[in-house]
Amino acid sequence: MSNNGWMVSRPCQNNEAHHCPGHKPEPKPCQKEDDCCCKKDMLKALELLFNEKIKEYVCFHKFSFIGRKYLVGTFLEKDEIGHDNTAAPWAKLKSIDPCQSDYINILANGFYYPIPTTVYHKYNYFVPYPVDKVSLCDLEAIQFEYYPCVGGWSFKERLTSLLDKKHPFMCCKDDDCCCGDTTFRNLSFSTNNVNLTAGWLALKNAEVLGRVGNVLVLSDTSSNKISFVCLESIGFYGSYYGFGGAYDTFDEPVTPDEPATLDEPNIE
C-alpha cells in the first residue's frame, strides 16, 4: 500500500522493534527529578504501529506532533470542522530507534505557532524551517491517520488488541509516581465518549481505546484519526453528552458582585 509513491512499510526498514544490544538493565526506581513522564511510553506506543497486525494500515506520511510551544504537521483551526481543533496531519514519521528514547525521526518542512487560524491564513503563523527530529520530552500528543482495514477486524479493534496493562504508570511528579492513574480511571470508567484538553490539543467525543503506560490512546469518532496523548498533559476532561445533553441543565453561576437575596415573603 502506498501514497504518492511512498511506501508505508518504509519507516520500518532497519527500525523494527528489537532488543537493544547487551543485557537488559534492571528498572530504576522512580526519580522525582525525572520530568519526562511520557517519553518512554510514547516510544512504546509508536513501536506498536510497526506490529504486523496494523503496520500496513498506518499512514506514516500523515502524522502531527503537538509540542509544548509549537506544532509540527498541523495547525490549530479557528473554525472547528471535526471533533478536534487541529487540521489534518501531514508530517512523516520516518523511523524510531527503541534503543534511543530521546527523539524520533520525522520529516516536516516547518512548524506552526499555536495560534488558531484558517486554511487561508495559516502561513501567517508558519515558520518554514525544516525539521527531522522530535524530542519525546517536548511532546504533549501525537496524532496520525490510518487506512480502513478490508475485511475482518477494524483498525481500531486491531490496535486495541495490542493495548494492555503491561506498562505500569510511572510518573515522577508526585509522591506516589502515578499521576496519570486517576485520570485514566476516570476516563476509562465513563460510559460515554470523552472531551478533553492536552496542551494545545482539544478533543470532542473521543473514544478511549486504552493506554500504554502514561500514554492514553483515543480514536476520533468523526474521522480515521488516532491520538496518543500524554496523561500528564491532560488539563480538563469530562463525558461527552452531545448537543442538548446534560450541560444544558446547569444553573447559572452566582457572581461575587451579586449577593444572594431572599424571596419576598408571601403575605396574604
pLDDT tens digits for range 16-41: 444 445 544 444 544 444 556 788 88
Say which range, 15-19, 105-109, 150-154, has the weakest mean pLDDT.
15-19
Residue 246's SS3 state is helix
Amino acid at 222: S
User: Are 206 and 194 a contacting pair, CB within 8 Å?
Assistant: yes
Tell me, what's the pLDDT at 99? Answer: 74
User: Are 229 and 140 a contacting pair, CB within 8 Å?
Assistant: yes
Say which range, 80-84, 102-106, 164-168, has the weakest mean pLDDT.
164-168
What does the mean pLDDT of the chain come to?
Answer: 78
Collect all residues with Cβ–Cβ distance below 8 Å to 87 and sequence separation of at least 6. Answer: 74, 75, 76, 77, 119, 122
Q: Which residue has cell 470508567?
A: 189
Query: Each residue of 168-211: pLDDT tens digit?
Result: 555 544 444 445 667 877 777 666 799 999 999 999 999 999 98
d(CA 17, CA 196): 31
DSSP alpha helix (H) spans, the chain = 39-48, 155-162, 179-188
DSSP for 77-139 reads: BSS--SSBSBPPP-BEEEE--TT--SEEEEEES-EE-S--B-TTTGGGGEE---EEEEEGGGE
Tell me, what's the pLDDT at 5? Answer: 37
Query: Global pTM?
Result: 0.77
Give yes or no for residue 225 having a pLDDT over 90.
yes
Beta bridge partners of 142: 65, 228
Give yes or no for residue 15 having a pLDDT over 50.
no
User: Are 106 and 91 a contacting pair, CB within 8 Å?
Assistant: yes
